[in-house]
Chain A
Amino acid sequence: MTTKDKPSAEWIDGLRRRYPVEREVDRVLVRKLHNRAGPAYDPQSLDTLKAGANALIAARHAGEFSIEDARWLTGGASKLQMAFTLCWRPAGGDKQRTAMVLRMEPAASVCETSRLREYQLLQIFEDVVPAPKPYWVDENGDYLPYPALIYGFVHGVTKPSRTTSNVSGLGTNLGPELRNRLAPHFIGQLARIHNHDIRDPRLSGFETPPKPETAALWALNWWQRVWEEDANQDVPLMRLASTWMRANLPASDRLSIIHGDYRTGNFLFDEDSAAITAWLDWELGHIGDRHEDIAWSMSPAFGHFDENGGEFLSCGLLPEAEFIARYEAASGLAIDRRTLHFYRVLSAYKAIVIVLGAGYRNARNGKSHQDVLLVWLMGLASTLFDELATLLDEVL
Chain B
Amino acid sequence: MEIRADITLQAVLKSFSDVIIPAIDPGNQLAQEQAQLMWRLLTLLRDRLPMQYEYDRDELVRLLTLGRDLQDTDEAPALTGHLADCEALHRRAGAAPDELVAAIARLRAAISDRVEQLAGRDDDRSGPALRAVLRAARQQHLRERSWLLAQGWEVAPETVPAIDTLISFHNMDKASPGAVE
Contacts from A to B (Cβ < 8 Å): 71-74, 166-167, 170-171, 232-240, 242-244, 247, 300-301, 303-305, 312, 369-370, 372-373, 375-376, 379-383, 385-386, 388-389, 392-393, 396
Contacts and interface: CB of A to CB of B under 8 A. Distances in A.
Given A166-B152, A372-B37, A379-B151, A233 B134 contact: no
Report which residue of A166, A167, A244, A372 has the largest number of chain B beta carbons within 10 angstroms of its beta carbon. Answer: A372
B148 interface: yes
B66 interface: yes
B148 A379 contact: yes
B166 to A, nearest CB: 12
B6 to A, nearest CB: 20
Contacts of B133: 236-237, 240
A170 B137 CA distance: 24
B167 interface: no
25 contacts: A71-B27, A72-B28, A72-B29, A72-B30, A167-B33, A171-B152, A171-B153, A233-B104, A235-B108, A236-B136, A237-B137, A238-B112, A239-B115, A242-B116, A243-B115, A243-B119, A312-B155, A372-B34, A376-B41, A379-B153, A382-B145, A385-B137, A389-B137, A396-B130, A396-B131
Contact of A240 (B115, B145, B154, B155): B115
B49 interface: no
Contact of A300 (B138, B141, B148, B155): B155
Closest 3 CB pairs of A and B: A382-B144, A243-B119, A74-B29
Interface in B36-63: 37-38, 40-41
B111 interface: yes
Contacts of B40: 376
Contact of B127 (A170, A379, A396): A396
Interface residues of B, number: 44
Contact of B151 (A243, A376, A393): A376
B156 interface: yes
Interface string B91-105: 000000000000011
A166 B37 CA distance: 10
A234 B116 CA distance: 12
A172 B141 CA distance: 24
Contacts of A380: 151, 153
A393 B138 CA distance: 10
Nearest to B35: A372
A138 B133 CA distance: 46
B26 interface: no
A247 B120 contact: yes
B38 A304 contact: no
Contacts of B29: 72-74
Report which residue of B30, B127, B130 has the largest number of chain A beta carbons within 10 angstroms of its beta carbon. Answer: B30
A171 B104 CA distance: 32
